[in-house]
Amino acid sequence: MNAAPRLRKTLVASIAYAAISLVPINQVHAGKGIDVGLNTIASGLAAPVAGVAAPGDLGNLYVVDQIGKVYKVDTATGDKTVFLDVMGLLTPLGIPVLGGYDERGLLGLAFHPDFATNHLFYTFTTEPPSEQADFPSKPVDHDNVIREWNAMRPEVSRVVLRVANPQFNHTGGTIAFGPDRMLYISLGDGGGEDDQDCQIGVDGTVTQGHGSDGIGQDPNSILASILRIDPNPDSQGALSANMQYRIPSDNPGVITFASGRASVIPEVWAKGLRNPFRFSFDFPTAQLIAGDVGQDDIEEIDLIKKGGNYGWRVKEGSFLFDPRGCEIKGFQTDGRAFRESPRFPAFAIDPIAQYRHNQGIAVIAGFVYRGDAIPALRGKYVFGDYSKNSNKPRGVLFHLAAPVSDNRNKIEELGDTLDIFVLGFGQDSAGEIYVLGNLTGIPAGSSGVVKKIVRRSKD
């Protein structure tokens, strides 16, 4: 039985949707006492979505361009060189009926903690469907692929993991090593809208492959998750079915779902996420912080914990969610968050911060600031939103007013509205943070930029 309608009938049968007023946990507040600006470090990219520091390399930021290139950017001079080119591996990008918009491509990069000596690094790419998928789906639009590379031999790679994605969107795409030296991977709910079959998507195709309860609450699906693996097949732990990585022995083993079932795919660290496009670790606190892109109402920041279920599609943020029918096509669906329900149902972990779509339309997770240039920002979580307007580049920056906690965290604006679509963030080895984006919101062209968050001059 579909879990969201069942909860709706039990809890709020008498509530009319038209009468609901969404009052999220957080109202975005004007920033206080932190005056920042942005300095352009590099330009001429297409769609930069992530910036990563390599262990042992103190002067460069490695910038992931969605079209299939990684640039090594000198943060002092802005000079950039191509570090890796995987364009030939990717699913063709740019959906014509969407004006070239796409959520596929080269999405993630992670350097091994011992990169300075072993030269290993990893990428998250979307590639044409293959019969070799370790976790297949029907239908399938593309495979999400984790590859291992050696910087001394960049012409070859090893496929670590291949997961089929039913639709073109909600791919996730971040990979990062945690303080425990394990590799974490984010995967979305497979795409479409409402995490249900029958919805006609923005590309005109009918969504299929999500099952009766949605992928978010399906204990037999690896999607809608954050994974945790050891990419070294010669290390400790259970050997994966494809014999290319190990499953850590202290992975959760059990996650509770809306249906009451409590099984899990052993690679899964956390579940019930719609599209955790970006996440990061704050190493001093060992916190894993993710932004989960919402449906039509709520954007959320989650503190990811071992074995956690974050509620999608039973909840959107701290609100109960009903996917309803399939009458409306495209991004504007008829699924709705219809009542705030903090801490209920009990299996679902609520976000630590959230905001309505009058403040933005797609959360882009960032980093805890650990630099020295902006003392007032030190220890605070910086993130943003793609844009306040889907048709215009009006990206926004936020920060949490206090260090991240399990409590409800106050959101404050950081700086002025930007003249770019925000696509990602980067953090260098000194803890300074960079904003990545472009003028078009699509993986094409050359308007992509890397901007460093700096203390605004009082002159």
Tell me the mean pLDDT per 10 residues along the chain, length 459. Answer: 32 32 60 87 98 97 98 97 98 95 98 98 98 96 98 96 97 98 98 90 84 94 98 97 98 89 88 98 98 95 97 97 79 83 94 94 98 96 95 95 91 94 98 98 98 82
Q: According to the model, what pLDDT value does residue 16 have?
A: 32
- Tokens 């496009």 found at: 277
Instruction: In whole angstroms, give the CA distance from residue 318 to residue 329.
Output: 25
Paired residues of 70 in beta bridges:
64, 84
The token pair that represents 288 in the structure block: 């894993």
Q: According to the model, what pLDDT value does residue 263 have?
A: 72
Cβ atoms of 229 and 247 closer than 8 Å: yes
Cβ atoms of 414 and 380 closer than 8 Å: no
Tens of pLDDT, residue by residue over 6-61, are 333 223 332 333 333 344 455 688 877 788 999 999 999 999 999 999 999 999 99
Which residues, including other chains, have CB under 8 Å from residue 330's CB and lie 6 or more apart?
A: 193, 200, 201, 202
Q: According to the model, what pLDDT value does residue 294 have?
A: 96
Q: According to the model, what pLDDT value does residue 44 have?
A: 98
Sheet order of strands, 287-292 included:
278-282, 287-292, 298-304, 353-356
Max Cα-Cα span within the chain: 64
Q: Write out the CATH class of domain 3-29+45-373.
A: mainly beta
Q: Of how many residues is the chain composed?
A: 459
Tens of pLDDT, residue by residue over 90-113, are 999 999 999 999 999 999 999 999
Q: According to the model, what pLDDT value does residue 18 have?
A: 31
Sequence ranges of the domains in the chain: 3-29+45-373
Q: According to the model, what pLDDT value does residue 23 have?
A: 42
Instruction: In whole angstroms, give the CA distance from residue 326 to residue 97.
Output: 20
Neighbours of 1 (CB within 10 A): 8
Q: Residue 458's Cα: distance from chain center in Å?
A: 35
